[in-house]
Amino acid sequence: MNLPLEDGEVADLREALQSYTQQLRTELAHADQRHFRAMLREKLDRYERLGAKLDREQPQQQPVEVIHFH
């Protein structure tokens, strides 16, 4: 899949990814059920990989912060 983005769209996507991954980290920290935590961890990993791909494609922008909790 190829999704051409303008610079402003890239910045918006980065901002959305940063916001959502932070929300997922907070939710993960408070999750009690093992299955739910695993689902949140998988989702967080996918969003972090997406941020890393975006950084590789558009490195001139400020990188998306990726923090791994295991």
**In the chain, domain spans:** 10-57
Task: Give the predicted TM-score (pTM) of the model.
Answer: 0.71
The average pLDDT across 16-36 equals 94
H or E stretch including 21?
helix 7-30
The average pLDDT across 37-43 equals 96
pLDDT of 38 over the 60 cut: yes
CA distance 29 to 24: 8
The average pLDDT across 59-67 equals 53
The average pLDDT across 1-13 equals 85
pLDDT of 45 over the 90 cut: yes
The average pLDDT across 24-31 equals 94
